[in-house]
Every structure is written in structure tokens, then in C-alpha cells.
Amino acid sequence: MPKPLVIVESPAKARTIAGFLGDDFVVESSVGHIRDLPRSAEDVPAELKGTPAGRLGIDIEDHFRPVYLVTPDKKKVATQLRRALKDASELYLATDEDREGEAIAWHVLEVLKPTVPVKRMVFHEITPTAIREAVGSWRDLDMKLVEAQEGRRILDRLVGYELSPVLWKKVMPRLSAGRVQSVATRLVVDRERARMAFRTGSYWDLEGDFSARGVGFRATLVALGGRRLATGRDFDPATGRVAGDLAGEVVCLDEEEARGLADRLDGADFSVASVESSAWKQSPHPPFITSTLQQEAGRKLRFSSARTMAVAQRLYERGYITYMRTDSTHLSEQAITAARRQIGQLYGEEYLPQAPRQYRRKVKNAQEAHEAIRPAGEAIRTPDQVAGELDADERRLYELVWKRTIACQMTDARGRRVSLRLGATSSAGEQATFGASGRTIEFPGYLRAYVEGADDPDAELEDRETPMPPVTEGEAIACEELAATGHTTQPPARYSEASLVKELEARGIGRPSTYAAVIQTIQDRGYVWKKGSALVPSWTAFAVIQLLEEHFGHLVDYGFTARMEEDLDQIARNEGESEKWLESFYFGNGQVGLRDLVAEERIASIDARAVNTIPLGVDAEGRPIAVRVGRYGPYLEQGEERASLPEDLAPDELTIGKAVELLERGRGGGRVLGVDPATGLPVTVRDGRYGPYVQLGEPAEGSGEKPRTASLFKSMQVESVTLEEALALLSLPRVVGVDAEGRSITAQNGRYGPYLKRDTETRSLDTEEQLFTVTMEEAEALLAQPKQRGRRTRAPLAELGPHPDSGAPVRILDGRFGPYVTDGTTNASLPRGVTPEDVTMEEALSLLAARAGKGPARRRKGTGRTAARRAPVKKPAAKKAAAKKATTKKAAAKKAAPKEAATTEPTGEKAAAGTAGPGPARPETGTSGD
């Protein structure tokens, strides 16, 4: 008997809903987007190859009509869904309720072309009650939401596919540009520029330990002789000095002056000059929306945005929290009732406000969901109640959501704030004023449940009390100790993922549902790398942003991007027409449009050398030094001299002094380590084109004989390598011994790593250090083993323990392109600047989760080893000519077709919703609309 067919995006969501609906329904998954724009030249339909529509995936001459097709990896899914539909009585489209979910449902409809009744089923939590209600209260497909998503998709494809080839030609291959990712990259670059331009200032003050009425407290010098003491905010970041307009208003002490004042105040009488006391009241923060969840999980749990959204997706699909992509702070009456009930049970009636708290946020976007992120269900489950059902990450994020939800319905926190001013006269008659302030909590209110974190790790948490003594004006205060304290001004802090999300949202750039994908993309493209939790731009990012600012300025302008976002939202609200807007953006309509900006003659006029040159300044002799970004990476340049740049050196750390040091190191002399006692020749360490190395002696003039050299081990640094280590390196290859047949076995360091050699036989060693430690017995045993094809399995660099979900061992291994973390199913490279010894299990799981969400890497056809070894086939002369003609046509079509180098904006987060089991899911390209 026919049954209703329910189609959702992900297998996990399908399993949960199937369990609620039972045998009366059939539930299937589309595994993300079932249909999309072409992702590579191979995807383009034959009739469109060689046309602008085939290159862009958009027919700009036909009302910006997108070229949709069922992607190769989804053809099997489409077949399964068609088969399921044949036996269905009706079709329920149960994709997520936002703009992209509506678009996924429409694509499913377009591919399946059902003849049975179609119903759109929406819900914001996956619970038995919510699903049953959704079945009974279905609606039609909302085409305005579909059109809104399609408009963003088209815009992002146009920006990405038109700008990215410019970067390939002028900077380096395989780069990408995008409507939001390029602006996000510019934010990170601009912050680094500010750090590079920053000049440190120094100032001193006095800090003292005081006591009164049995209470000790600290106070700081705030004024001297009636003038305010200088603090960090009074300094000009461009000069490192007190800003000119404040010079007469503030006192700036140096070390000598501060210490002298401390001596003159020794033994002085201190008394209370003033007391200010005021009551304070603090209300709880609203419940989580997508952006605030990402920010707070970053601060409190140290989760990346991608990890936060991946964990939240699992919690939603399994019915633990409501839909996690929302800009609404509204809570349903059911949720408020459940929260208030639990507050009364856990904390008491005094923690309940008289009336429920209502949170309203002006939401302009047509896509937004109806509720904030909260625990799902009619009765809120505590973290303890669900702990046994969730993995470690899920437990921590659920607890965060639960605390925030409960706290937002609790009473205000109340207390008292006290500010003291202490006065004293020095032995030289100077009037010194010290200040101290404190805060006490009289009733904790919502702070019993939740305290919000801060982007600044040194910021005072909201629940910290600093009591002050109950003193009165004129009362004597005992000074226990006075000390001069020095301070330096600090450059603006680099963005973390949490603070970058906050900045993007504050500027109205992009949408919170895609922030995680955007931040992941700019890291994947090599524009940004992490130093701890800080986002550091690469020199490639500097070159790309320099090019975009100079030649496509409005596309990376913060204000323009925010206005463009609002225009798109107006279209979604039916206040504008998508086609007219796209036409104006692309063709210009009397102004300069995107098509004009990427015209061949205009691109040809861009000076590639100029956009790839980042000036640093001049050395002591007035000679300019710059960073140049080449096709193989960045390097230093001064005149004809060049020097490599360490990969882990942040741009703001590349001072003129450091640049001069690197250039000197790269010159002929290098750094002298000492003299080789056997030859009397100097031993130097140098930076070369292929990495650092040590050298014995110098080339003999006219002889043409090169001096002996040896590369440094990966574990060695140019700055710290010793003469003893250098001589050991120069002694290689080492003769390990001679076998019974008189054959010599040597340990050598080669292009692909350390190895043993006996005649023509070779075997790889696990580590470079084994070159000096491997014994004859070990060498013979290794050579007796069959030679393995490919790379030998090396010993793990670190064993982190079993995976909390699968139980598989999580390890850090040394790969051909550097260390990576693996659980046997998914591999994830360690970020630049991160050493294997510093990686925790939490960080490893975060890297694995982010990599799994991106899907497996796609190999290019014809570039594998099999293709490389394939012998050429001889052809008769006539066939050669035909083959050449066909090859020329194919190359022309491929040139006109979209490249594989991911030029669109990043994958929409729900595109990875197809994750089934522990294996990685393949994301849909460019579905985010950002």
C-alpha cells in the first residue's frame, strides 16, 4: 500500500524523523543539495561548452538563467529518490525552514517532478510533537525564499568566477575571490597592517597595597599635582607618544620619575579623599542566535566556528536543540514555561522574575527561523539528564545552550559599586591621588546559571567580586607598600574566530549562517593561518587584498558590501527585483559594472609586480626592503638580493631589523658557527632557496669545485643550530657497517627523507635522527623486509588516545607535506605554527570535524602516478593530425569552462549535512549564498 514519502537533507535527520513517524511513512535523504551549478569543466553540458554560460554556469544573456544539473556524486541519490517516489501516496519536503532549506526542497521538486500531492513540512526542532504537528500543518513551497537564495547564489558565482581568474594571472594559481570571503580577508589584513604600523609607547605609574578596617585592597596612582596620569589610551599608535592635544593635560612618568615619586611618598599619610557608591543592576543576555553561539563557544570552549556548527548540527538532527541557523532571539511560550519551571525547581522562586522575559530583535531577513537556539522539547532536559547520550563535544555545547536559555529567564543580578580616591602629599609637596574601585554582588540572579565570556582573556568576568572597605571621607588609610610599575601600549589584538564573527555581524557583512564556512574557506585558501587562537594573514593575502583594493575597490569596501547585503534582503522581502539588481551589478547600466572591471584590456594593464610587492621600509642606509609574493611563495627582496621567509613568521614580526638579519643570513657569508677541527675550514649556516643548510668552507676561486653542504633536520633551527650538530650533518652519509658478503650499508639523507642504502637497495628510515643511531643489526633487519610501495608507515609523532565516538586511535603522523592528525578515517593537516607536541585531543577532534565537513579531496584526472607512468601510444601520421585538432578543441572548451579551483564563495554549512557515520561528507560547492 502506498505510503507518504518524506525527504530531508541528511541521513542523520532522516533516521531521527523516521523513528518518530514509524512504519506509516517512508523517510529518505537528499544528502544536501541534489542539484547545483557546474563545478568543473567536466560537468558542463556539451551544448554549452565553449560559451559564456558554460564558463560561468550562468547564462547572463538569458535573464541570468542558472545552468543547473544533478551533480555526478548525486546521480545515485536522485535514482533512489525517484524509486521511492514511485510507491508514494504523497510527498513531504521536510528540509530546513530557512532560505537554503527552501531552495533544496525546490531542487528536489524540479528533479523528481512528482505527480502525487506535494506538501512543504516545516519545523524548528526535531521532537515527536514537533514532527507530528508539522505533518498536520503543511504549507506550499515559498518561492520568494527560493528566489532569494538563487539570487545570492548567482551573485556569488559571478563574483567568484570573474575575479578568481584575475588572481591566477596576477598573483598565483588556485586562489579564489568571493563576495564575503575577500572582505573577511581584508578585515584580517587591515588589522595586521595596524599592528605593523603601531609604535609602542611606555609609561609608568605607582601601584600600592592599602588596608582599612581589616580589608586589604589595591590602588593605582591616577593623578599628580592635579593632572591626570597618562594611560595607554592617551598614546598615539602611530608615534608611540602621548597624543599632541593631550600633552598639557596628562602627566607621563618614566621609570626614574616613578621610582623617585615612590621614594618621596614613602612614609606619607594617606586618607580617603572621596567615596562614591552606587547600586548596579545587570540583566541576562538574550538566548543564543547563530553568531552569538559561535562567539561564545569560541571563548568558553575554544571551538572553531566550523566545529561549533558541526556539533550543533548533530545536536539538532538528534533532537537535542532547536534549529541552529537563526537570527531570532524569540522563545516560544512553551520554551519559556519549561525554562521558568526548571528555574523554580533548581534555584528557587526568588530567581524567577514576575513576568516572563521577552526578547525581540529586528530581523530584516526573509530567511530567518522563528526561534532562538534552545534545548528542544516541551520539558527542558538538564545536561546531567542527557550526558550519557552525547559525546564530549556535544555535552559541552548542549550545556552552554542550556545555561544560556535558563539564564535568560532569570532575575537581574544586583549589587553595589564603590569608587575610592585616596590622597597623599609627598616629601616634595606633590599632591598624589590614587584610585581604587570594587564591586560586590548582593543578589546573583542569572549569574547563578551563566556568565558570558569576553574576547579579551584578561577582561574581568561579570561574576568576580572585589569588595572595598566601608570607609568615609577623611578616614586614614594604611599604605602597606608602594611600587613603581612600567607599562607598554599594545597593538590592536588580532581577530580570533569569535571576534571576527562579531565584527562581520556588526558591519552587516554576510550572514551568520555562513560565517563558519567563510572563516574556514579563508584558512583553506592560505589567506589566513592560526597562531594559537589568533587569525594571522599570509603575505599572499596581502597581495590579493592589495590587488582588489587598487583595481576592484568597491567589491572589498566594507560599506558597499553591507549595502549589497541589504539590497539582497530587500529582494527577499519582495521590495526589489533580482534580475534588475543583477543586471545593474554586472552590466553597470551607465556605470562601471563587473563585466567592465574584468575586461581583458583592463586586466592586462594591472602591474603584477606592483600588486605582489609589499614595502616594509628602508634599512639604516636608506635602501628599501620589500616582501615579494612569487608563484612559489613570499620572499624578501632588497635590490638584487633575496632571502627566504620563515613560514611561521607573522607579518607584524617582520621588522626592518629582522628583515636585515634574514637578508644577511641569505648572503654568501651566512652565520659562522665555528671551525672544522679536521680541515680548519669555517662552518656556516645559511638560508637557501630549498631551505636552511650548513656549509663547510667557501668555493675555491676558479676551481669550480663546490663546498660540502648538508640540509638541516626538520627539528633544527637556523638560529640555534650548533657547530657540533653542523659537523654531524656534514659527516653524512654515515657508514653503518659491512654485511657478511662485504657490502657496505650507509645511512643517507635524501630528497624524500632519511634512508638506508646497500648497493642499489634502499629502505626508508622513520626519523632523521636515526641516521646517527641506527645499528648494523637494525639496518640488516630493515633491508631484509620486502620493499613497500609508496611511503613507509612512520612512527606516530604523538598518540592522543581513543576517539570519543568511534574508539579509533587519534594520532599525529608525519606526512609528505607536514604533520597531520588522523583517526584512521579522516586526515587533517596541522595549521601553520602549530607543533605536534602542543596539540590536545580537543584541538585534534576540532581539526578532524572541520576536515570531515569539507568532504574528501578531489584528485585531478590524469595527474596520478598511474597516468604519469603510462607510456605514450604511437599513432599513424593521419591520426596524429586528427588527434591534435581534437585536443585543440578540447583545450579551448576547457579554457572556456569553469575551473575546478573553487572560485565561488564557500560551501553552505548545510551542504555538509549529508554526513553519514564517521566518514567525511562531500559538501556542495557554493551553496551558501555568501
Catalytic residues: 323
- Closest Cα partner for 293 from 370, 360, 393, 374? 374
Here the cell at position 848 is 578532524
- Closest Cα partner for 375 from 404, 346, 355? 404
Residue 823, C-beta contacts closer than 8 angstroms, at least 6 positions apart: 803, 806, 808, 809, 810, 848, 918
Here the cell at position 182 is 575577500
Cα angle 488, 494, 500; round to 5: 145
- Cα-based distances in Å from 568 to 149, 152, 162, 366: 9, 7, 20, 10
- Cα-based distances in Å from 400 to 299, 311, 331: 11, 12, 17
CA distance 96 to 36: 18
Beta bridge partners of 534: 496, 531
Q: Does residue 38 have a cis bond before it (omega within 30 degrees)?
A: no
- Closest Cα partner for 323 from 393, 367, 392, 370? 370
- The single residue listed with the C-alpha cell 556524486 is 73
- Cα-based distances in Å from 35 to 12, 42, 727: 20, 15, 62
Q: Which helix (H) or strand (E) holds 814?
A: strand 809-815
Q: Could you give the dihedral angle defined by the CA atoms of residues 310, 311, 312 and 317, in that order, rounded to the nearest 10 degrees?
A: 90
Buried b / exposed e over 108-125, threshold 16 CB at 10 Å, is bbebbebeeebbbbbbbb
AA identity, residue 643: A
Phi, psi of 101 (to 5 degrees): -60, -40
- Cα-based distances in Å from 159 to 179, 180, 328, 595, 909: 6, 10, 29, 10, 20
Q: Is the dihedral of CA 652, 657, 663, 665 positive or negative?
A: negative
DSSP state of 348: -
Residue 334 near residue 401, CB atoms below 8 Å: no
Residue 791, C-beta contacts closer than 8 angstroms, at least 6 positions apart: 764, 816
Residue 196 near residue 651, CB atoms below 8 Å: yes
Task: Quickly list DSSP for 549-610.
Answer: HHHSGGGG-HHHHHHHHHHHHHHHTTSS-HHHHHHHHHH-TTS--HHHHT-HHHHHTS-HHH
Continuous H helices in 324-465: 333-346, 383-386, 392-407
- The single residue listed with the C-alpha cell 532536559 is 381
Q: Alpha-carbon Rg of the chain, whole angstroms?
A: 33
CA distance 172 to 169: 7
Helices (H) and strands (E) in the chain, counts: 28, 36
Q: Could you give the dihedral angle defined by the CA atoms of residues 568, 569, 575 and 580, in that order, rounded to the nearest 10 degrees?
A: 10
Here the cell at position 427 is 616629601
AA identity, residue 317: E
Here the cell at position 711 is 640540509
Helix axes 392-407, 841-854, angle to 10 degrees: 90
Helix axes 512-524, 497-507, angle to 10 degrees: 130
